[in-house]
Amino acid sequence: MTGGFRQVGEFPAPRQPIIRSLRNPIDKSTIASIFPKEIHERKFTIEPGVFNIGAGSLEQPALLTVGGSSWWKSFDEDQPVLEIPVSSVAVAESVIKDYCNGMLGCDMSGAMPGLFLVLGEVSSLELKMKYAAKIEEVKIKQDNWFKILVRIADSLWARSNGNPLTISDEMRLGAKMLNMNDKEWLLDFNIVEMVKCIACGSLKNPLYPVCPQCHNVDMTNPRAKDLKFVTG
């Protein structure tokens, strides 16, 4: 703050000090992940609010131990800011739900990424010994989610005439985890340069003879001879 004026985006300094309470050392929960992708969640309304989980697997689940967090409520300028504690269980549940909710194909019950929480701080060995049944349950849910993504990818691939932009990273990951390596959309399409359709000018995958926009057939494409047309 300079000369009585605040800069754009500058927040006024709190008039009452924020007094942090002592954290409960036994309030801990563990987020376990067999999801083979790193997760980075940040929550701006609580502190601590940054949560990073490594890529996990069935053989080596990734673990993140979280403690309780807090948020603060201000009543007026004459009273100190009130700290509202949030338990580690609530924090862990929020991290999982906020990451998974809204993901394509996820229903948070029978089909979802392989994340779950357990009470307390546990090691990888302890997790696999005590929670083997839970890990297997979560794997089934994750496989169900991957199967849904693969079905959606097949549909999008067919409807878009092989446009690689319609296939998400999670869809490709799901196919690999399910050993469906014969999927054509699993190819590295970074080497495929989209070209303009000679009829309408829209971008199309040169591997396919039919333009998904105007349906013009490129007869110079080697796959064009395999097409069958309905007449009459």
The per-residue pLDDT for 218 is: 86
The per-residue pLDDT for 50 is: 94
The per-residue pLDDT for 191 is: 47
The strand pair at 39-42 and 69-73 is best described as unpaired
Owning domain of residue 78: 9-192
Examine the domain organization and report whether 108 and 214 are in the same domain: no
Examine the domain organization and report whether 108 and 205 are in the same domain: no
**Of 31-35, 67-71, 192-196, where does mean pLDDT reach its minimum?**
192-196
In a domain, 1, yes or no: no
Examine the domain organization and report whether 216 and 123 are in the same domain: no
The per-residue pLDDT for 225 is: 79
Q: 203 versus 148: which is more confidently predicted?
A: 148
**Of 21-30, 133-142, 184-193, 196-205, where does mean pLDDT reach its minimum?**
184-193
Of the three residues 177, 192, 207, the one that is the final residue of a domain is 192
Q: 188 versus 176: which is more confidently predicted?
A: 176
Sort 80 into a burial class: Cβ within 10 Å, 0-12 / 13-18 / 19+: middle
Examine the domain organization and report whether 217 and 103 are in the same domain: no
Total number of domains in the chain: 2
Examine the domain organization and report whether 125 and 115 are in the same domain: yes
The per-residue pLDDT for 1 is: 46
What is the three-class DSSP state of 26? Answer: coil
Examine the domain organization and report whether 66 and 97 are in the same domain: yes
Q: What is the mean pLDDT of the chain?
A: 86
Examine the domain organization and report whether 162 and 203 are in the same domain: no
Give 186's contacts (C-beta < 8 A, 6+ positions apart): 172, 175, 176, 180
Residue 123: other Cβ atoms inside 10 A: 11
Q: 2 versus 102: which is more confidently predicted?
A: 102
What percentage of the chain carries pLDDT values higher than 90?
55
Examine the domain organization and report whether 46 and 128 are in the same domain: yes
In a domain, 134, yes or no: yes
Task: At 186, list the tokens.
Answer: 């699993």
Is pLDDT of 57 > 70?
yes
* pLDDT tier, 5 (very low <50, low <70, confident <90, very high otherwise): low
The torsion of the CA quartet 21, 25, 30, 31, rounded to 10 degrees, works out to 20
Examine the domain organization and report whether 184 and 201 are in the same domain: no
The per-residue pLDDT for 215 is: 85
- CA torsion sign for 167, 171, 176, 180 is negative
Nearest to 120 by CA among 33, 31, 29: 29
* pLDDT tier, 96 (very low <50, low <70, confident <90, very high otherwise): very high
Report cis status (omega within 30 of 0) of the bond before 48. Answer: yes
In a domain, 95, yes or no: yes
Task: Find out whether 89 and 120 touch, Cβ atoms under 8 Å.
Answer: no
